[in-house]
Amino acid sequence: MQEKGKKIVRRFVVSSFFDYLCRASFRIILYNMYRIYLLLLSALLVFASCSEHPQFVRNDIQVCQTEGFTGYFVPDGIGSHGLLYVDRGKIYAEEHRVEISKRFGKTYVKGEELESTRCTLTRYTNPASHTITEGVDYLHPHFKISTTREVEYGRANGFWTSYPYDNSGNYGRIVMDKLEDLLRNEQEEQSLRLDVYAPDDEGNHLRPLLVMIHEGAFFSGDKADDASSRWCEQFASCGYVAVSVNYRLGFNLFSFSVSEAAYSALQDVNAAIRYLLSHRVTYRIDPDKIFLAGCSAGAIVALNTAFLNDSIIPESMQEVAAKLGPLSSIPVTPAYDEPFTIRAVGNMWGAVLDPEILKSSSASIISFHGKYDPVVPYGEGIPFEPFVKEMLREMPGGSWAGSYLAKKVMPEVYGSSCVDAEAKKIGKLSVLHSYNIHKHTLVRNDDTGELNELHEEFFEKMNTFFVDEMIGQPVALQYSFSDSQLFLIEQPDNVKDCSWSIQDGFIIESLRPTQVRVLLKGESHNPVLTVKGVYSSDITFEKSWNLKEGI
């Protein structure tokens, strides 16, 4: 009985031990299978991550020294998305996060301490692209144009407001064709009209205003002449509201009233500007961006409109002003009596009666004039004197008679060289383009009277000058002496918004819109930093600098 009990106990112990061994082996097998499963799963996840972002190939981070500053970046082959930058033991990237794998799934956030200076990049999240604030490029034509013609801006007594001619330069025939009207010496109420050229844009920004004033010696001409209308089309296609105006013409040759004709023209253009400002909402005109341009008599009107007002009248015009009334005497509808300021003037072979008037306004001036102009003097002189003397030179005493007649009809004026010299003397921005040409109207061919290549050249130079005036301080780049990789825009208050890019390098971070830190590639051959943006005047810009050539 005792022996039988021992056998049962021995069998139970053996069975239990065998069962234990079986269970332990099974657990070991299961455990190993579980480890294998985890390894396979991890490998699958890594593979899936690489497949999900094939452009972010795994590369070792390498040390790069640029201008004495040490950083880290992924070598060529991963592209700018692979940028990694370390400064004083902290990781930097453009934005968001960078995942670095020393083992599996180690993630660093911008500014976090970096444990190792050599590890493997698995993914870099590229920042969202920056959309620049809407602006306008006034330097290049890109708008379709809508034209509104024959808009009445006022009414006033005069001889006529339109007298087109064939551009032949035959002033004698031009005068003779109107001789009957001049001898009758009767003035009637005239309708003062203008043509509006506006860009077809769907924005809501305010637009600069350009007023174009035609030539014609205060006797002839029309707002629709080919030179004026073509310039207006060009300015409107660049984003301006461009307006060509007619004004009162004609004067009695025997009463020597050319000064009255010139003063009447000033009154008319003053009324045209006030009319346009009274309708500024309709035309979306910026009252702080008004520009004038004109040729010959039109340039004389433009210059004097910019610098004269009812409290500043040259002594030679005070008698006429007392007779014809204030410059702002022509009423407009709706009424507009606020003072206005001209930003700049395009003066094409014009003049002023007194250079002292330039002190009355801050308007800038760009001038174009032939040095041997026979009609409006390049310097100081009498309009038409060389021209009339040449006409009468074959008559006995013709030269003397021509000079006497010109001086009786025309006042002494100061041409573009005098205007430019006086402007620069008082610290005003002025640019003078002089031409060694013995002619008056520079933009026409002598033989055909058709427009020549100077017409296009003058537009480009005037427009660039006007845009520079609107911009003020242009974009310029400077770098920080304390941080050789920090670049910033000078005069940042003049920039509303901007965005950066770089060739042969990486944008590390934008501290603010006008400041950026960059990292060049280890062997950069042509690192070019580019900034695109909008000035505070809503004008777009794009500037680039080669960093190896210097700023």
Per-domain residue ranges of the chain: 1-52, 62-124, 145-387+414-471, 477-546
Average the pLDDT over 120-138 and give the result: 57
Nearest to 507 by CA among 524, 523, 519: 519
HSE, side-chain direction, 13 A CA sphere, residue 264: 25
Report pLDDT for 288: 94
Phi, psi of 488 (to 5 degrees): -145, 160
Strand partners, 366: 346, 431
Q: Is the pLDDT of residue 202 over 80?
A: no
CB 84 within 8 A of CB 16: no
HSE, side-chain direction, 13 A CA sphere, residue 403: 5
The pLDDT > 90 percentage for the chain reads 36
pLDDT tens string 275-334: 999 999 999 999 999 999 999 999 999 999 999 988 888 787 888 899 999 999 999 988
CATH of 145-387+414-471, one of 3.40.50.1820, 3.40.50.800, 3.40.50.2020, 3.40.50.720: 3.40.50.1820
pLDDT-derived band at 536, boundaries 50, 70, 90: confident
Instruction: Locate 454 and state its tokens.
Output: 């100077």
Say which residue, 75 or 427, is predicted with more confidence: 427
Q: Is the pLDDT of residue 5 over 90?
A: no
pTM over 0.85: no
Q: Is the pLDDT of residue 348 over 70?
A: yes
Nearest to 272 by CA among 294, 233, 296, 246: 246
Report pLDDT for 113: 44
The rounded distance, in Å, linking the Cα atoms of 502 and 518 is: 8
Report pLDDT for 377: 92
Report pLDDT for 436: 93
CB 416 within 8 A of CB 409: no
Q: Is the pLDDT of residue 53 over 50?
A: no
Q: What is the DSSP string of 387-417?
A: HHHHHTTTSTTHHHHHHHHHHHHS--EEEHH
Report pLDDT for 404: 53
Q: Is the pLDDT of residue 537 over 80?
A: yes
Q: How confident is the prediction for the chain on average, in pLDDT?
A: 76
The rounded distance, in Å, linking the Cα atoms of 48 and 54 is: 10
pLDDT-derived band at 458, boundaries 50, 70, 90: very high
The rounded distance, in Å, linking the Cα atoms of 179 and 504 is: 74
pLDDT tens string 479-506: 777 777 788 888 888 888 888 888 877 7
